[in-house]
Chain A
């Protein structure tokens, strides 16, 4: 971080982050924002588990419980997992492909602020009459029936933050296609860049159906349109389709980057190149493609008929094949390697069996007639937590340890990290393993309570204890971060010793322009190649040292997002809305907000911003300040 270099006042730092278009700073903001929402959603989960600890418990009321379950799901998926993955994508992808920034730095900043203000808006619902309570799926008949403004917050908050996600997705697509350093061909891209690429394509095709569905729901809720009102010829099943055409790819949007992260961690700590690189790439693309063909497996009990169910059942099973390829490739990467069990590797090693367990229960649910029993029971709760926690969250926690030195030039404490892993990992299995059986024993999901003597009491109790362990793990991780921030020593580049890809070749702390000269990539795992050939510099360059073109900072993305944030309050209290407490100021506020947003767009369109050049003299001065004499403390 540059804080040690240039001491800045608090106000200046805040202004710097509000206006920054630097992918590394945006990554840090995504990390902070995502962690904030992760902790909130985790707390919601613990509250729910406390309520379900005993039968007929009255820790929270039925209405509150529904708000908690809705916000837990919505927040974890949209506001915690996505931004945390975006944090890693932002930090790592440009460095991995040898770029100075993403293709559209301005849009990168816009994407972050839309996400954050959308998420903030959604969470204000807790203080403004109650959070959404129709589940993260928000099925139309219930979401239209739901009184109060909760569902309105859901619709508006997701619309705003969803726009941010879509923008970021497009940005990464363009970045990966256009910004690769010379020699970084598609088939030399690190797996994390590949998975980011496929994920971005999924975002591009997956989010528009959600946006369309939300717009329809928004018109129904705010202007009493009748898209989903059966009495007036509307149809609620259309919402289910739109939601799941988005919702299923969403699962892959989240899990593919996690696969990518593990595909970086496993080869590093096995000291061996990724086994079957090309089949890994192929499997990633295939999973992304098939991900769009299977959404109706969430709707087996809706009554689509046996033909639709049979087709979607078989299509869903097909996804197991490329996923299996990935698992075996990871195993064979480890096989014959030299395994060093660091904290990130521990997470990777914990991930493989956990994710396989989540995968096979997924296949069980693809078995349509069997799914009639499993659907909407605790079995599905267990299944998707095995995939999401066992896959995505373990990926995120492992990568936090792995990439912390890249973000902050500090190493997280390894011993504490391993303790954290074990507590979290045991807690995770304790919480969710028995839930499979609860489901098979007839317990429906999303219940705020249950009667005693149905055979569910003990398993629910154990599950709650597991949830406490998981929270203890997260608290330990936060402690680790705090300790590291206070006591940590500079880590330098390549602190793990065996890293392979370009992002580790850059000297620490990373200068704001990343690479002083664009590197030349000579093969897969370029940094490994250079190290093996004894190149102390870690890189060969594709260009002589010259002036660097960089984008200007801008407050416009923040203002643009703020306009939509303000407009959302206007839309929320629309006089035509379903909820009956409209406000006279609603329409003016809506208009003011939209004027701010569109005004900023016009300003941005009319004012040319060509960026600026960092001269060679400035580069050399900065590097001397950062690393002492040239070639020094690397």
Chain B
């Protein structure tokens, strides 16, 4: 009977907690609204941990309050000298053993999940032709922006990660300048992008991001990396496997695409003169080509959700950004690399906005 009661007590506590916590945060960014297997495992651990910890807090609080109200000097008398108790072995053993048991309950799933989430062996699996089976994305973090390249398909993009739903997507994480950290709270915990080595982990995207408020999940840089650390956002678009294949094909079709300096479009001509040294407009090519195109690839700029990772995705915002990047993202590496007139900026903005691979 007592046991049953306890179980129900625990269960209702857990349920209450879940209701309370799941009321928290926005679907596209909150770790409390998991939208993938990894985040869900972590959420479950959170619930388990919170339940155990709440029990601890409640027990301590109850003892504390009883002791406090029962043994006030006004209650026990002004001149009473309490018995000078030395201690109690029985009690010492109780409050050593019970916490150990509680910790074991938490430690076992912790260790299991640690190994589970750390398992990236499938990255190296290949089919008969030697092609990798799993989808791997190489993430390169640079000062205040993100590059995503897909070695399996030989395509590269920036700032907006596109992934298929329903499968494990593996990531190779690396930083090109200083340390950053890759985090999509609704999909799973973070992993650092070190300058020293390649980090590997996987995420699973359960549902298409289309129905979300902005149609994307929010991603963040979670490691202090300089003045604009707070602005080093990226977005994640999760699409159905079919749409993902379509997107890949569209990306591959941009092979050889470039800006023509002789173009009658002032925007394209200016781009060819002032921008193409850093920004590629073809998604096919060598990723992380630091020397050739050190800036974000702009092939899909028109399809994106934000300008510069966090500003509105409008021509006006883009014009402001091109005009004075330092004002919006202090410490960025684009400032001062080019000189363009206001007229050219307007043309550039409409040209860059037009770069798209998706059907509208």
What residues make up the interface of A, taking CB atoms closer than 8 Å to B? 61-63, 66, 69, 133-135, 139, 141-142, 145-146, 230, 235-237, 270-273, 275-279, 301-303, 305-306, 309-310, 313-314, 317-318, 320-321, 324-325, 327-329, 331-332, 334-341, 349, 352-353, 356-357, 360-361, 363-364, 366-373, 375-377, 437, 440-442, 444-451, 453-455, 532
Contact = CB atoms under 8 A, between A and B. Distances in A.
A317 B104 CA distance: 9
A279 B53 contact: no
Given A301-B191, A441-B32, A338 B76 contact: yes
Contacts of B67: 331, 334-335
B169 interface: no
A236 B191 contact: no
Interface residues of B, number: 95
A421 B25 CA distance: 32
Interface in B206-228: 213, 218, 220-228
Contacts of B310: 451
Interface string B190-210: 111011110110000000000
A313 B113 CA distance: 12
Contacts of A139: 179, 223-224
A335 B222 contact: no
Nearest to B108: A314
Contact of A270 (B71, B115, B186, B226): B71
Contact of B189 (A133, A235, A375, A447): A375
B23 to A, nearest CB: 10
Nearest to A370: B45
A236 B192 CA distance: 13
Contacts of B81: 271, 338, 532
A349 B68 contact: yes
Given A236-B179, A310-B110, A444 B220 contact: yes
Nearest to A446: B224
B63 A331 contact: yes
B196 A236 contact: yes
A336 to B, nearest CB: 6
A301 B91 contact: no
A230 B196 contact: yes
Contact of A309 (B86, B118, B226): B118
B10 interface: no
Contacts of B32: 440-441
Contacts of A272: 82-85
B151 interface: no
B191 A367 contact: no
Given A303-B194, A303-B197, A331-B67, A370 B223 contact: no
B3 interface: no
B189 A66 contact: no
Interface in B60-115: 60-61, 63-64, 67-68, 70-73, 76-77, 80-88, 91-92, 95-96, 99-100, 103, 106-107, 110-111, 113-115
Contacts of A278: 87
B31 A276 contact: no
B189 A372 contact: yes
B103 A318 contact: yes
A313 B111 contact: yes
Contact of B92 (A134, A273, A325, A340): A325
Contacts of A324: 56, 95-96, 99
A237 B192 CA distance: 11
Given A61-B330, A321-B100, A376 B223 contact: yes
B45 A66 contact: no
17 contacts: A61-B330, A66-B227, A141-B179, A145-B226, A276-B86, A320-B103, A328-B60, A335-B63, A338-B72, A363-B49, A364-B46, A369-B114, A376-B181, A376-B190, A447-B229, A449-B231, A455-B25
B309 to A, nearest CB: 10
A434 to B, nearest CB: 10
Given A142-B179, A364-B53, 5 more contacts: A272-B84, A317-B107, A353-B61, A444-B221, A455-B29
B30 A328 contact: no
Contacts of A236: 179, 194-196
Interface centre among A303, A353, A370 (most CB of B within 10 A): A370
A69 B224 CA distance: 11
B87 A237 contact: no
B220 A364 contact: no
**Nearest 10 interchain pairs by C-beta:** A372-B189, A306-B118, A441-B25, A447-B230, A442-B185, A360-B53, A276-B87, A303-B199, A62-B227, A442-B29
B50 interface: yes
B85 A341 contact: no
Nearest to B70: A335
B103 A321 contact: yes
A572 B107 CA distance: 47
Given A276-B88, A324-B95, A373 B46 contact: yes
Given A276-B87, A302-B194, A375-B222, A440 B31 contact: yes
B133 interface: no
Nearest to B233: A451
A357 B173 CA distance: 34
A62 B30 contact: no
Nearest to A375: B190
B19 interface: no
A310 B115 CA distance: 8
A66 B226 contact: yes
B24 A62 contact: no
Contacts of B233: 451
Nearest to B223: A376
A523 B29 CA distance: 60
A450 B113 CA distance: 32
Contact of B42 (A305, A309, A369): A369
